[in-house]
Amino acid sequence: MVLEIYKVLINIKLEPKLAKIIEQGINETESTKKNKNNNNNNNNNNNNNNNNNNNNNNNNNNNNNNNNNNNNNNNNNNNNNNNNNNNNNNNNNNNNNNNNNNNNNNNNNNNNNK
């Protein structure tokens, strides 16, 4: 649109100085447009990068949380297993002690009966 107006103005034989000023204005307008587009593209790229970074950070945080939860679950399972083992050992010890006591009592009774 601007270029067409410029061409029409040149066609009606404007003074060279005025033609030069108009040409300069058109060049500045085109340049401004390009800069604006470049700025918009840069802003869009920056926004996309920021969004990607945020998504990556969120994913990393989620992964860390999942890992922590898994570690906690594993620790809890290990603790439970250890507790069960300890309980079993204690029960076995108690049973052994009871058996020993019973054997001793039987031996004592046998000796007394002799």
Quote the CA–CA distance of 103 and 114 in Å, as a whole number.
Answer: 17
State which H helix or E strand residue 85 sits in.
helix 16-113
Is residue 112 within 8 Å of 104, Cβ to Cβ? no
Q: Kindly report the pTM of this predicted structure.
A: 0.59
In this predicted model, what pLDDT tens digit does every residue of 22-67 receive, in sequence order? 677 777 677 788 888 899 999 999 999 999 999 999 999 999 999 9
Q: How far is CA 9 from the centre of its chain?
A: 60
